[in-house]
Amino acid sequence: GCRCSTMSVCVVCTNSSYNCKGKGISFHRFPKNEDRLYAWLVAVKSHLRPPRTVDSVQEEISKPHGAYICSEHFSPTCCFDNPKAKYLGYKCPPKVLSEDAIPTIFGGEKSRGSSDSQRGKRARKQ
């Protein structure tokens, strides 16, 4: 069927193909290659948006629709503007990843991990 009807949602942040229309953000499926898949899972493990866990993401990956990470989490060195997007517009993703791209950008405000709250507690002690 048409893949436009299925919404891609980032496993890390609240971005989805629905709320990011026209923002130049693309959604990238987890790689099929096992080494790269492992590297992606390790990278996002502590940044997954609850209630997601590595297990639930791996389950999503195995489903036809798959699991996605949005281009916001890839550094510009491995995430490029898709040259085709100029001509094809909405029909193709605005960004393309390099072969060895790994998500590395996780905004501090997006991932409220335990380490952040620990830091906050320590800082507040006079």
Question: DSSP code of 80?
Answer: E
Please compute the mean of the pLDDT values over residues 38-62 and round it to a whole number: 96
Please compute the mean of the pLDDT values over residues 43-56 and round it to a whole number: 96
Q: How many CA atoms lie within 13 A of 76 on its CB side?
A: 1
pLDDT of residue 88: 82
pLDDT of residue 77: 95
- Cross-strand pairs, 95: 81
Q: At which residue do the structure tokens 């501090």 appear?
A: 108
Question: pTM (2 decimals)?
Answer: 0.78
Q: Considering only residues 12 and 88, tell me which one the structure prediction assigns the higher pLDDT.
A: 12
What does the alpha-carbon distance between residue 43 and residue 35 come to, in Å, rounded to a whole number?
12
Please compute the mean of the pLDDT values over residues 77-91 and round it to a whole number: 86
